[in-house]
Chains A and B, each alone.
Chain A
Amino acid sequence: MAEKKYWKGLEELNQAPESAQLTQPEFGEEIPVEFFDSNNDGLQSNRRDFLKMMGFSLTAATVAAGCEIPVKKVAPYIFKPEDVIPGIATWYASTFYNGGDYCSIIVKTREGRPIKIEGNRDSKVTKGGTSARVQASVLSLYDTARLRNPMVKGKRGHDNASWADIDKAIAGKLAANPNANIRIVSSTVISPSTKKVFAAFAEKYPNTKVYTYDALSYSGMLMANMASKGKSEIPDYHFEKAKVIVSIDADFLGTWISPIEFTKGYVATRKVTKEKPEMSRHYHFESRMSLTGSNADYRVAVAPSELGVVALNLLDAITGSSTAGGAKLKDEAKQARLKEAAEWLKKHRGESLVVSGCNDENVQLVVNAINDALNNYGNTITWDCANMLRQGSDASIKTLIGELKGGQVNILMVNDCNPVFDHPMGDQLAEAMAKAEMSVSFAGSMNETAANCTYICPDHHFLEAWNDAEPKRGLYSLSQPTIKNLFDTRQMQDSLLTWSGNAMTYHDFMVQNWVTGPLAGKADAMGAFNNALQIGLYQPENGNVIEAVVATLTAATEMAPATTDVSSAAANILGMAKKASGVEIQFYESIAIGDGRYADNPWLHELPDPVSKITWDNYLNVSPAYARENKIEHGDVVTVSVNGKEVKLPVAIQPGQANNTVSVAVGYGRTMVGRGVVGVGVNVYHLLDASGACVNYMAANVSITNTGENVKLAQTQTHFSLNDGLGQRRIVKETTLAEYKKSPNAGNEDRAEALAWKDITFYPDYFGKKNGFNWSMAIDLNSCVGCGACVISCNAENNIPIVGKNEVIRSREMHWMRIDRYYAGTEENPEVVYQPMLCQHCENAPCENVCPVGATNHSSEGFNQMAYNRCIGTRYCANNCPYKVRRFNWFDYGGADTFGTMNDAKETENRGLLEDLTRMVLNPDVTVRSRGVIEKCSFCVQRIQEAKLSAKKDNRELKDGEFRVACQSACPADAITFGNSYDDTSAVVSEAKDERTFGILEEFHWVPSIFYKTKVRNKDKADHKNEEALDIMDLYNYK
Chain B
Amino acid sequence: MQHKKSTTITRFLSIILLLALSFTANNVFAGEAEGKVLYQSKCQRCHLVDKKLTGPALQNVRTRWADSTNLYAWIKNSQSFLGTGDKYANDLYKEYNSIMPAFPELSDVDVADILVYIDAEAKRKQDMAATPGPGGVVTETKKDNSTLYWILIVALLFIAVILGRAVKYLDGLVRQKFDDPTPDTTPFYKQRKYRPLVGVLALLFLSLLSVAMWNSATSLGRQQGYAPEQPIAFSHKVHAGINKIDCKYCHVGAERGKAAVIPSLSVCMNCHYNIQGVTGTDPNYPKAVYDKEIAKIYSYIGFNAESLKYESEPKPIEWTKIHNLPDHVYFNHSQHVKVAGLECQTCHGQIQEMDVVQQMENLSMGWCVNCHRNTNVNFTTNEFYKPYEVLHEKIKNGEMESVKAEDIGATECQKCHY
Binds B, one of A83-91, A397-405, A680-688, A878-886: A83-91
- A69: interface (CB < 8 Å): yes
Q: Which of B118-126, B129-137, B181-189, B261-269 contacts A (4 or more CB under 8 A)?
A: B261-269
A73 and B327 CA atoms in complex are apart in Å by 15
Residues of A with C-beta under 8 A to B391:
771-772
Task: Summarize A's interface: helix, strand, loop or mixed.
Answer: loop
Please indicate which of the listed interface residues B216, B221, B384 has the most CB atoms of chain A within 10 Å of its own CB: B384
A861 to B390, CA, bound (A): 14
Contacts of A955 in B (CB 8 A): 381-384
Query: In the bound complex, do residue A771 and residue B262 qualify as a contact, i.e. CB atoms below 8 Å apart?
Result: no
Q: Which residues of B contact A771 (CB under 8 A)?
A: 387-391
Most chain B CB within 10 A, of A78, A79, A866, A957, is at A78
- Given known A74-B319, A76-B319, A941-B414, contact A952–B265 (CB-CB < 8 A): no
What separation, in Å, do the CA atoms of A955 and B385 have in the docked complex? 9
Q: Which residues of B contact A941 (CB under 8 A)?
A: 414, 418
Asked if A982 and B339 make an inter-chain contact with CB atoms under 8 angstroms apart, the answer reads: no
Residue B252, interface by CB 8 Å: yes
Q: Using a CB-CB cutoff of 8 Å, which residues 80-125 of chain B contact chain A?
A: none
Measured between beta carbons, the chain A residues less than 8 angstroms from B321 are: 72-74
Q: Is A824 an interface residue (CB 8 A)?
A: no
Q: How far is the CA of A108 from the CA of B338 in the complex (A)?
A: 24
Contact flags (1/0) for A756-782 with B, using CB distance below 8 Å?
A: 000000000000011111000000000
Q: Which of A50-77 contact B (CB under 8 A)?
A: 62, 65-66, 69, 71-77
Does B196 sit at the interface, judged by CB under 8 A?
no
A951 at the interface (CB under 8 A from B): yes
Q: Which of A69, A869, A957 contacts B417 (CB 8 A)?
A: A869
Q: Does B205 contact A (CB under 8 A)?
A: no
Asked if A276 is at the interface of the complex by the 8 Å CB criterion, the answer is no
CA distance A76 to B267 in the complex (A): 11
Q: Are A952 and B382 in contact (CB under 8 A)?
A: yes
In the complex, chain B residues whose CB is within 8 Å of the CB of A949: 332, 334-335, 339
Using known A-B contacts A76-B261, A771-B391, A859-B413, determine if residue A87 contacts B317 with beta carbons closer than 8 Å: no
Contact B417 A867 (CB under 8 A): yes
Whether A86 and B320, one on each chain, are in contact in the complex, defined by CB atoms closer than 8 angstroms, is: no
Question: Which residues of B, 284-327, contact A by the 8 Å Cβ criterion?
Answer: 300-301, 314-321, 324, 326-327
A75 to B265, CA, bound (A): 10
Interface residues of B in 366-388 (CB under 8 A from A): 381-384, 386-388
**Choice from A66, A87, A948, A957 contacting B386 with Cβ under 8 Å:** A957
Asked if B177 is an interface residue, CB under 8 A from chain A, the answer is: no
B320 near A71 with CB under 8 A, answer: yes
Chain B residues with Cβ under 8 A from A857's Cβ?
Answer: 413
A504 in the interface, Cβ–Cβ < 8 Å?
A: no
B364 to chain A, nearest CB (A): 13
Q: B264–A80 contact, CB under 8 A?
A: yes
Query: B335: which A residues are within 8 A, CB to CB?
Result: 949, 952
Contact call A76/B387, Cβ cutoff below 8 A: no
Provide the bound-state CA to CA distance between A88 and B147, in Å. 50
- Residues of chain A lying within 8 A (CB to CB) of residue B414: 859, 863, 865-867, 938, 941
Among B228, B267, B334, max chain A CB count under 10 A is at: B334
Which has the most chain A C-beta neighbours within 10 Å: B216, B221, B413? B413
- Complex contact A65–B220 (CB within 8 A): yes
Say yes or no: is B259 at the interface (Cβ < 8 Å to chain A): yes
In contact, A957 and B258 (Cβ under 8 angstroms)? no
| Shortest CB distance B250–A (Å) | 10
Do A73 and B318 contact each other (CB < 8 Å), given the known contacts A927-B418, A956-B384? yes
Contact mask for chain A residues 887-931; partner B; CB cutoff 8 A; 1 contact, 0 none:
000000000100000000000000000000000000001111000
Interface flags for A851-876 (1: CB within 8 Å of B; 0: not) read 00000010111010111111000000
Interface centre among A73, A79, A771, A865 (most CB of B within 10 A): A771
Q: Is B5 an interface residue (CB 8 A)?
A: no
Contact present for A772 and B388 (CB under 8 Å): yes
- Residues facing B in A948-996 (CB within 8 A) are 948-949, 951-953, 955-958, 980, 982-983
Assess whether A557 is interfacial by the CB under 8 Å rule.
no
Does A942 sit at the interface, judged by CB under 8 A?
yes
CB pair A957–B383 under 8 Å, yes or no, is yes
Q: Give CA–CA (A982, B216) in the complex, Å.
A: 45
B253 engages A86 (CB within 8 Å): yes
Complex CA gap A730/B247 in Å reads 60
Q: A961 to B257, alpha carbons, bound, how many Å?
A: 22
B103 to chain A, nearest CB (A): 31
Closest Cβ–Cβ distance, residue A64 to chain B (whole Å): 11
Is A927 a contact partner of B328 (Cβ separation < 8 A)? yes
Q: Looking at B262, B387, B414, which has the most chain A CB atoms within 10 Å of its CB? A: B414
A75 and B316 contacting across the interface, CB-CB below 8 Å: yes
Q: Which residue of B lies closest to A946 (CB)?
A: B332
Chain B nearest Cβ from A115, distance in angstroms: 14
Interface: B408 (CB within 8 A): yes
Q: Measured between alpha carbons, how far is A78 from B339 in the docked complex, in Å? A: 29
Closest to A798 in B: B418
Residue B42 lies at the interface, judged by CB distance under 8 Å to chain A: no
Contact residues in B for A956 (Cβ distance below 8 Å): 383-384
Report the bound CA distance from A408 to B324 in whole Å: 66
A953/B339 contact (C-beta < 8 A), A860-B409, A867-B417 known? yes
Query: When chains A and B are docked, how far (Å) is the Cα of A719 from the Cα of B417?
Result: 29
Interface residues of A in 817-873 (CB under 8 A from B): 857, 859-861, 863, 865-870
Q: What residues of chain A lie closer than 8 Å to B417, measured between beta carbons?
A: 865, 867-869, 927
| Shortest CB distance B106–A (Å) | 35
Instruction: Indicate if the CB atoms of B409 and A957 lie closer than 8 Å.
Output: no
Question: How far, in angstroms, from A867 to B338 measured CA to CA in the complex?
Answer: 27
B258 and A87 form a contact (CB under 8 A) = yes
The docked-state distance in angstroms from the alpha carbon of A948 to that of B410 is: 13
Interface check B144, CB cutoff 8 A = no
Contact B264 A79, beta carbon cutoff 8 Å: yes
Q: Considering the complex, give the chain A residue whose CB is closest to the CB of B332.
A: A949
Residues of A contacting B65 in the complex (Cβ-Cβ under 8 angstroms) = none
B319 and A73 contacting across the interface, CB-CB below 8 Å: yes
CB-defined contacts of A65 to chain B, threshold 8 Å? 220
Whether the pair A865, B413 counts as a contact (CB closer than 8 A) is yes
Q: Which residues of A contact B382 (CB under 8 A)?
A: 952, 955
Choose from A62, A87, A868, A927 the contact partner of B217 (Cβ within 8 Å): A62
Bound-state Cα–Cα, A865 to B267, Å: 41
Known contacts: A73-B319, A79-B266, A927-B328. The answer to whether A867 contacts B413 by CB under 8 A is yes
Q: Which residues of A contact B327 (CB under 8 A)?
A: 896, 927-928
A982 to B386, alpha carbons, bound, how many Å?
12
B256 at the interface (CB under 8 A from A): yes
Q: Check A85/B409 contact, CB under 8 A, given A78-B265, A869-B417.
A: no
Contacts A87-B253, A927-B328 known; A772 to B408 CB distance under 8 Å?
yes
Contacts of A942 in B (CB 8 A): 330, 418
Q: Is the CB of B257 within 8 A of A76?
A: no
Docked complex Cα distance between A867 and B267 (Å):
39
Q: Are the C-beta atoms of B328 and A952 separated by less than 8 Å?
A: no
Nearest to B301 among chain A residues (CB) is A78
Nearest-neighbour CB distance to chain A for B316, whole angstroms, equals: 4
Roughly how many angstroms separate A926 CA and B418 CA in the complex, as a whole number? Answer: 6
**Cα distance, A74 to B390, chains bound together (Å):** 44
**CB of B223 within 8 A of chain A?**
yes
Contact B318 A75 (CB under 8 A): yes
Q: A77-B265, A860-B408, A955-B384 are in contact. List 17 more A-B contacts (CB 8 A).
A: A76-B262, A85-B256, A87-B253, A770-B387, A770-B389, A773-B387, A859-B409, A859-B412, A863-B414, A865-B412, A867-B417, A869-B326, A949-B335, A953-B339, A956-B383, A957-B383, A957-B387
Provide a sorted-by-A list of 7 A–B residue pairs whose CB atoms are within 8 angstroms. Answer: A78-B315, A86-B259, A87-B257, A88-B256, A859-B409, A942-B418, A957-B383
Interface residues of B (CB under 8 A from A): 216-217, 220-221, 223, 228, 252-253, 256-259, 261-267, 300-301, 314-321, 324, 326-328, 330, 332, 334-335, 338-339, 381-384, 386-391, 408-409, 412-415, 417-418
The 6 tightest CB contacts between A and B, nearest first, are A87-B258, A865-B414, A87-B257, A77-B264, A771-B390, A80-B264
